[in-house]
């Protein structure tokens, strides 16, 4: 059969499946889900409540069930697991790689974690899990799995193949065999391709590749991502400080890290403070959004206070008020553009990337080009529509100055935050907009004050 | 030896390497770069101009040189290749997988592409490249490589291993062997692990896995990314409409697509119109930033025009002008928050995600919560600091209305754009800010006009 096994989760399917779950038709459900990819079952179960999901899950082979659980979104997963006993969770862990297992453990209350581990049948697995629990989840040690195929450099290929056979059940995906010495120190790797093509009595020592890239357990997840991306690796061995091989990170975990980081950066840029999703409750979403809104509000109130200093001027020349949004909006836009370019530059930077001074000079040049063009456009339009030369000069001068200042702020803020160890993406958000609003108002009223001589 | 082969590109290294390049010390350079990972050499060469880079590259084995070139950033790569003749480029293509080769071809002027292909020595490779040139670069066909290991279902394992041996040089990384029938129709896959563990005289037909996930050539790159991520695949076979196996996509290409998409989305949110980087020239950066700045400017001018309608009111109550930035800024912030959540929801949505109506209801609820809280804060502060009840009521009422309206706009705009097939990320950018500025002004002055009865 030549079918492409992609499972279509259609409305029609759900209409048949739904009543079967309600009526607890075991056989129908078992048959329907036979051979379906766990990732698809996960998508399906996300449509049901925890109780129904648990019912369906218990009909499945624990091998499949454990894969289904691991594919669930983090918050759904930990909510879901509240409905399972420690024994039941331990059975799932028995069927999962240790990196996925520890991920589940990390979602459980701390008090429950050790209990679950003691219930894991496979003792080696239980040891792995205890080991992995020690690492923070944003370093190499927290991303790695303990399952991997290790070969001593003195072995023959045949011995290595026997080892793969022995381990085959425990290690889901084998990309390479890692070569170690008698003390477990990582020496290199052999690809499966090489093993297939070698003679059975060849020695590992003769064919392995010494140029293996590895990271140490404490390396930050961002560096893990960069390393795997730069060298196009699908698996990355992890060593301890003494060079002993302790685990491996696979590309699928890194993919998840990349996606999460990108989402986090975008949320930070949008002024959403914690990791929320559209599916969360109204209150959680509101709470995540309020802090930046309040900061923006305080900025706005400070702005109001500032403008009120010019109350008499505005009463005499109300036209001064007309261009307030123009000035603040341009400042905000320019600031966000600048900081985004700097933030992305920081993310991609090499050791020799431009010095801060060169960055500032370049940003200044760009600001002058854009500032001049915008100022000319505004001057032309204001002169044409109001024939008021003073206001045209005021607005265009202020606009030009705001573009320069906002560029400077947008450039320097992420650089400072980055140096302080804060995620610079936050600088492209409401932070810079609020600061630039105030700056823009100050410049505008200062220029107006000078030119009008009020 | 137990060294971790990570090449440190330090300032010290460069101080030694730089003069060697200038003085054209062939041997020193060759020796220094011996065994260094191509990705590291790429990073190194990005510090040199095209001429010096070309000189270094010509000292390297073309196998390594071609990898170095493919790792270069897109714009540096195409600039760099201008210094090479068609013959020289063809040599690189001979050493690259067809997906990387076609990537290089796509960076060349159209007129040069076919010339280069005719110069590629390996005829099979030349055919592959011609084939791949037909696909857009954002569909599965444009991401795939033609190099893969195919096995007929009637073969024995031994025959399959012989085939791997024959192909080993052409296919850099083998994840699985794809199983086809006599007509080349994809039937399934066998992992290398399975091949190693099987008896030599076993038949492929007996051990292959029928549950293979594949995509068709015309499938959009975003769907490719989602499929590989969902099913944790490191390689994805590509079939034509008749189910014939025509290529495979590997995870490293998908990683690049994910990173690019995230960067693009962030740039779009920041109002930067084309794919620019900090390293680009002042003029390119300015040009990429101007369009949205001008749109913001036009919005600001419309705002000015609108406020000018209330010139007499402002002359009488200048305090009306004070809160303009507060209103516009809050509208902007709320709009960006809402659209970001919707955009991320769209990216992660399943078939059964909330209906538009439910999304709107939820956003409305969040907006009411946040709007009420913000309005109370503002009312309190304004009353406390000015004791002017009318202005306090005006500002807080307007603020509440703006939060509602901006949430609505921020929710509906990305949904509409998405339905029109436009990247909804654009809605989280200056677009929504500009629109919400105007909306905020209208609401504010409307409310003020009503309450002041001017």
Q: How many inter-chain contacts (A to B, CB under 8 Å) are there? A: 404
Q: For residues A398 and A443, is the Cβ–Cβ distance under 8 A?
A: yes
CATH number at residue A110: 1.25.60.10
Measured between CB atoms, which of B10, B187, B296 is closest to A329? B296
Give the helix/strand (H/E) hosting B144.
none
| Domain of residue B193, CATH code | 3.10.580.10
Query: CA-to-CA distance for B352 and A290, rounded, in angstroms?
Result: 29
Do B297 and B373 lie in one domain? The reply is yes
Residues B377 and B419 both lie in one domain: yes
- Regarding whether B379 and B294 lie in a shared domain, the answer is yes
Structure confidence by residue, pLDDT tens digits, A165-177: 887 777 778 888 9
Report pLDDT for B143.
93
Same domain, B224 and B100: no
Structure-block tokens of residue B182: 């006599």
Average pLDDT over residues B206-235: 90
Chain B partners within 8 Å of A404 (Cβ)? none
Of A164, A312, A329, Cβ closest to residue B196: A164
CB-CB contact of A151 with A177 (8 Å): yes
Same domain, A293 and A440: yes
Condensed to tens digits (0 to 9), the pLDDT of residues B302-358 reads 998 999 988 888 888 888 889 999 999 899 889 888 888 888 877 766 544 556 777
Predicted pLDDT of residue A6: 52
CA A83 to chain B, closest CA, distance in angstroms equals 24
- Which three-class secondary structure state does DSSP give residue B4? coil
Confidence grade of residue A200 (pLDDT, cut at 50, 70, 90):
confident
Same domain, yes or no, for B293 and B424? yes
Tokens encoding A29: 């459900």
What ipTM score was computed for the predicted complex, to two decimals? 0.80
| Nearest CB partner across the interface for B168, out of A193, A213, A344 | A193
pLDDT of residue B10: 73
- Which among A225, A232, A392 is the top mutation candidate for probing chain B, defined by the most B β-carbons within 10 Å of its own β-carbon? A232
d(C-alpha A109, C-alpha A437), whole Å: 45
Q: Which range (A99-108, A134-143, B241-250, B284-293) has the least confidence?
A: B284-293
Residues A236 and A327 in one domain: no
Angle among Cα A219, A223, A226 to the nearest 5 degrees reads 150
pLDDT of residue B293: 87
Strands B176-180 and A176-180: unpaired
Query: Is position B267 within any domain?
Result: no
Contact assignment for A193 to B174 by CB distance below 8 Å:
yes
Does residue B160 share a domain with residue B127? no
Q: What are the Cα distances from residue B137, in Å, to A436, A441, B3, B448?
A: 40, 46, 39, 54
Which has more confidence, A173 or A115? A115
Q: Distance (Å) from the C-alpha of residue B120 to the closest C-alpha of chain A?
A: 25
Is pLDDT at A179 greater than 90 in this prediction?
Answer: yes
**Helix/strand/coil for A363:** helix
Most confident of B354-358, B426-430, B435-439: B435-439
Question: Is B334 in the same domain as B238?
Answer: no
| Partner residue facing A370 (CB), from B279, B290, B366 | B290
Judged by CB atoms closer than 8 Å, whether chains meet at A374 and B267 is answered as no
| Phi, psi dihedrals of residue B145, rounded to the nearest 5° | -110, 150
Q: What is the mean predicted confidence (pLDDT) over B429-450?
A: 85
Q: Which of B335, B297, B313, B56 is nearest to A321 (CA)?
A: B313
My answer on whether B215 and B313 are in the same domain is no
Average pLDDT over residues A196-215: 88
Residue B83 confidence (pLDDT) above 50? yes
Domain CATH code at residue A341: 1.10.357.20
Residue B261 lies in a domain: no
Task: Write down the pLDDT at residue B4.
Answer: 45
In a domain, A271, yes or no: no
Max CA pair span of chain B: 97
Predicted local confidence at residue B435, as pLDDT:
87
The set of residues, in sequence order, having a beta carbon less than 8 Å from that of B419 and lying 6+ positions away, is none
Residue B141 lies in a domain: no
Q: Which range among A96-100, B162-166, B397-401 shows the weakest confidence by mean pLDDT?
A: B162-166
Q: What is the mean pLDDT of residues A156-171?
A: 84
Round the average pLDDT of chain A to a whole number and report it: 86
Nearest C-alpha of chain B: how many angstroms from A65?
15
Q: What is the pLDDT of residue A349?
A: 61
If you average pLDDT over residues B30-56, what whole number do you get? 86
Query: Which of B135, B168, B192 is the last residue in one of the domains?
Result: B135
* The predicted structure's pLDDT at residue B8: 65
Residues B385 and B439 in one domain: yes
**What is the enclosing helix (H) or strand (E) of B7?**
none
SS3 of B238, please?
strand
**Which residues from B are below 8 Å from A285, CB to CB?**
341, 362, 366
* Chain A, nearest residue to B272 by Cα: A337
A185 CA to chain B: closest CA distance, Å?
Answer: 7
Q: Are the beta carbons of A296 and B270 separated by less than 8 Å? A: no
Whether residues B277 and A345 touch (CB distance < 8 A) is answered with yes
Reading the block at residue B64, the tokens are 């390594």
Mean pLDDT of A171-186: 89
Considering only alpha carbons, which residue of chain A is nearest residue B346? A278
Domain that holds residue A380: 282-452
Whether residue A365 contacts residue A403, with contact meaning beta carbons closer than 8 Å, is answered with: no
pLDDT reading at B100 higher than 50: yes
Tell me the percentage of chain B whose pLDDT exceeds 90.
Answer: 32
List of chain A residues whose C-beta atoms are within 8 Å of the C-beta of residue B321? 307, 314, 318, 320-321, 324
pLDDT one-digit tens code per residue, A319-360: 888 999 999 989 988 988 888 888 887 776 654 455 677 778
pLDDT higher than threshold 50 for residue B3: no
Do the domain assignments include residue A3?
A: no
pLDDT confidence bin for A248, thresholds 50/70/90: very high
Q: Is residue B345 part of a domain?
A: yes
What are the φ/ψ torsions at residue B37 (nearest 5 degrees)?
A: -60, 135
Q: What DSSP string describes A119-137? A: H-S-HHHHHHHHHHHTS-T
- Tally the domains of chain A: 3
Q: Is A323 close to B300, i.e. CB distance below 8 A?
A: yes
pLDDT for res A268:
82
Pair B312, B355 in one domain: yes
Q: Which of B75, B103, B135 is the last residue of a domain?
A: B135
Mean pLDDT of B134-156: 91
Of A37, A312, A324, the CB nearest to B321: A324
Nearest CB to B255 within list A5, A229, A312: A229
**Average pLDDT value for residue range A20-30:** 89
Taking CB atoms and an 8 Å limit, are B294 and A46 in contact across chains?
Answer: no
pLDDT in tens, A53-97: 889 988 999 889 999 999 888 778 888 888 899 999 999 999 999
Q: Which residues are CB-contacts of A308 (< 8 A; sequence separation ≥ 6)?
A: B319, B322
- Average pLDDT score over residue span B166-170: 77
Q: Is B39 inside a domain boundary?
A: yes
Question: Mutation test of the interface with chain A: which of B270, B284, B443, choosing the one with the most A Cβ atoms within 10 A?
Answer: B270
Q: A277 vs B345: CB contact, 8 Å cut-off?
A: yes
Does B143 reside within a domain?
no
In chain B, residues with a C-beta closer than 8 Å to the C-beta of A327 are 300
Task: Work out the percent of chain A whose per-residue pLDDT is above 90.
Answer: 32
Residue A4 has pLDDT above 60, yes or no: no
């Amino acid at each position: 059969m030549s079918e492409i096994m992609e499972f279509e989760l259609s409305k029609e399917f759900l209409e048949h499946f739904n009543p079967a779950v309600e009526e607890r038709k075991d056989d129908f459900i078992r048959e329907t889900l036979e051979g379906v990819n766990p990732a698809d079952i996960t998508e399906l179960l996300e449509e049901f409540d925890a109780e129904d999901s648990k019912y369906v899950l218990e009909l499945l082979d624990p091998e499949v069930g454990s894969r289904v659980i691991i594919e669930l979104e983090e918050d759904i997963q930990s909510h879901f697991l509240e409905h399972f006993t420690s024994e039941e969770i331990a059975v799932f862990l028995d069927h999962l790689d240790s990196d996925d297992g520890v991920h589940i453990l990390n979602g459980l209350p701390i008090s429950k974690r050790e209990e679950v581990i003691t219930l894991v049948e496979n003792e080696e697995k239980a040891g792995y899990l205890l080991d992995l629990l020690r690492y923070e989840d944003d370093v190499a040690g927290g991303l790695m799995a303990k399952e991997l195929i290790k070969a001593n450099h003195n072995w023959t290929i045949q011995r290595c193949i026997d080892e793969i056979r022995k381990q085959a059940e425990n290690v889901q995906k084998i990309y390479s065999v890692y070569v170690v010495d008698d003390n477990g120190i990582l020496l290199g790797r052999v690809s499966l391709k090489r093993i297939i093509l070698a003679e059975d009595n060849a020695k590992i020592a003769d064919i392995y590749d010494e140029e293996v890239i590895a990271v140490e357990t404490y390396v930050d997840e961002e560096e893990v991502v960069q390393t795997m991306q730069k060298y196009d690796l699908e698996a990355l061995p992890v060593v301890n400080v003494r060079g002993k091989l302790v685990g491996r990170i696979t590309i699928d975990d890194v993919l998840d890290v990349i996606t999460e980081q990108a989402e986090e950066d975008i949320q930070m840029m949008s002024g959403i403070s914690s990791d929320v999703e559209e599916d969360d409750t109204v209150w959680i979403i509101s709470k995540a959004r309020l802090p930046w809104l309040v900061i923006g509000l305080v900025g706005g109130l400070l702005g109001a206070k500032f403008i009120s200093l010019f109350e008499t001027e505005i009463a005499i020349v109300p036209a001064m008020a007309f261009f307030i949004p123009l000035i603040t909006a341009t400042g905000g836009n320019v600031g966000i553009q600048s900081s985004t370019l700097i933030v992305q530059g920081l993310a991609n930077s090499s050791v020799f990337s431009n010095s801060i001074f060169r960055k500032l000079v370049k940003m200044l040049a760009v600001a002058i080009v854009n500032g001049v063009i915008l100022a000319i456009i505004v001057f032309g339009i204001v002169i044409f529509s109001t024939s008021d030369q003073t206001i045209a000069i005021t607005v265009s001068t202020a606009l030009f100055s705001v573009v320069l200042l906002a560029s400077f702020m947008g450039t320097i803020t992420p650089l400072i935050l980055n140096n302080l160890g804060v995620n610079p993406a936050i600088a492209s958000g409401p932070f810079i907009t609020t600061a630039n609003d105030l700056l823009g108002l100050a410049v505008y009223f200062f220029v107006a004050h000078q030119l009008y001589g009020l």
